[in-house]
């Protein structure tokens, strides 16, 4: 969502859940300038109701690819772009193959769609494909495959390279279902000029369903969850509030103040040098979908609350164009069903 540059790294789950520093949150505070209230409005919905989206902004337009449909046994190859000036969506060339959790990152007029799952639940299989979209030609081609099949990670473009961080990889070569994947700390780096992937520094924490954005050339990775199996073989997913920042220039990670509360399946974007995060879900100790919105200031290493999402959602995407933040799609209930076509727009106070 899909930005800026800071990457998140997961800490041990219990330590994260029980030890959030008081300095991490300015409780009761809201982002904005005196005399102008931050607010929400609605805009034109997407053409297709879907979730698990990682949008990308290029030249003032928001691009959205793939996604999980209703019911969650279906997935999409749909690809469209939103023009905020006209409040209009345009259908574009479809993905070469249907995917959900496919990440988008733009470099030099090309949009790279990386990884993602094929198949409907529970037959999710992580894929290694990289699809490359030529904006001028409205055409997809195939790029260099990831070294390892990946999904539920994040990707960002920084200084001419594409970075794919974290997510889930197959637990064994024949993995074909959701439960047959494990979280990873991998950082893989694509040089589009040579079409080759190389390894970057591993993240501090293995996690999936995080969100990311780029600020001042660093990748911020925030939230997400950690996957494990219960004794009966069912999945257990525990959210983490971790914020980790990756510096591509030095190939190093740094841990920052965690989110006020742990969230998985959230969305992130940047506005005026700050990190904005929205929504999410949790599976334990109870199933919930959230309407929370927060902003993180890298200068002070503090979080502040924002007016909540009008519609609680997870699996949504976030993208900033001008002075507006668009929150797109997602699901109103935990899990893979109840996808939406929503385009709810946050207007921050401009004084900050």
Structure confidence at residue 308 (pLDDT): 97
Phi, psi dihedral angles at 17 (to 5 degrees) = -70, -30
Distance in Å from the first CA to the final CA of the chain: 22
Per-residue tokens: 297: 């200031």
Superfamily (CATH) of domain 5-347:
Kelch-type beta propeller (2.120.10.80)
Write out pLDDT tens, residues 251-291.
999 999 999 999 999 999 999 999 999 999 999 999 999 99
Q: Any idea what the Cα angle at residue 208 is, between residues 211 and 115, rounded to 5°?
A: 85
Structure confidence at residue 191 (pLDDT): 98
Structure confidence at residue 14 (pLDDT): 29
Write out pLDDT tens, residues 138-186.
999 999 999 999 999 999 999 999 999 999 999 999 999 999 999 999 9
The one-character DSSP state at 13 is H
Structure confidence at residue 107 (pLDDT): 97
* Threshold 0.85, pTM exceeds: yes
Domains of the chain, residue spans: 5-347
**Torsion, CA 82, CA 85, CA 88, CA 93, rounded to 10:** -40
- The ranges of the chain with pLDDT < 50 are 1-35, 352
Report the b/e string of 299-337 with b at 16+ CB within 10 A. eeebbbbbbebebbbbbbbbbbbeeebbbbbbbbebbbb
For residues 164 and 155, the answer to whether their CB atoms sit within 8 Å is yes
Structure confidence at residue 36 (pLDDT): 54
Q: Which residues are within 8 A (CB) of 4 and not within 5 positions of it... i.e. 6 or more apart?
A: 213, 214, 215, 216, 218, 219, 220, 270, 273, 275
Structure confidence at residue 349 (pLDDT): 77
């Amino acid at each position: 969502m899909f930005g800026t540059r800071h990457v998140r790294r997961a800490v041990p789950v219990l330590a994260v859940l029980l030890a959030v520093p008081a300095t991490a949150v300015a409780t009761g505070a809201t982002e904005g300038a005196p005399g102008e209230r931050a607010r929400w409005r609605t805009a034109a919905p997407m053409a297709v109701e879907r979730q698990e989206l990682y949008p990308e902004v290029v030249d003032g337009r928001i691009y959205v690819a793939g996604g999980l449909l209703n019911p969650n046994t279906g997935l999409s190859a749909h690809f469209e772009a939103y023009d905020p000036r006209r409040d209009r969506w345009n259908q574009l060339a479809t993905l070469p193959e249907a995917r959900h959790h496919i990440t988008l990152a733009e470099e030099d007029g090309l949009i790279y769609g990386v990884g993602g799952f094929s198949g409907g639940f529970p037959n999710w299989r992580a894929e290694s494909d990289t699809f490359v979209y030529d904006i001028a030609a409205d055409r997809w081609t195939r790029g260099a495959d990831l070294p390892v099949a990946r999904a539920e990670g994040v990707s960002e473009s920084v200084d001419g390279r594409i970075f794919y961080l974290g997510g889930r990889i197959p637990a064994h070569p024949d993995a074909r279902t959701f439960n047959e994947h494990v979280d990873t700390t991998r950082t893989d780096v694509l040089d589009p000029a040579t079409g080759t992937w190389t390894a970057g520094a591993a993240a501090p924490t293995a996690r999936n369903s995080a969100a990311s954005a780029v600020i001042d050339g660093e990748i911020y990775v925030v939230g997400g969850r950690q996957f494990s199996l219960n004794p009966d073989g069912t999945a257990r997913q525990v959210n983490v509030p971790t914020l980790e920042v990756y510096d591509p220039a030095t190939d190093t990670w740094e841990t920052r103040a965690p989110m006020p509360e742990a969230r998985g399946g959230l969305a992130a974007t940047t506005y005026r040098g700050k990190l904005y995060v929205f929504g999410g879900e949790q599976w334990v100790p109870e199933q919930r979908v959230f309407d929370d919105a927060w902003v993180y200031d890298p200068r002070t290493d503090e979080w502040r609350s924002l007016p909540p999402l009008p519609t609680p959602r997870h699996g949504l995407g976030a993208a900033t164009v001008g002075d507006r933040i668009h929150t797109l799609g997602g699901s109103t209930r935990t899990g893979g069903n109840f996808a939406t076509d929503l385009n709810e727009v946050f207007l921050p106070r401009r004084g900050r």
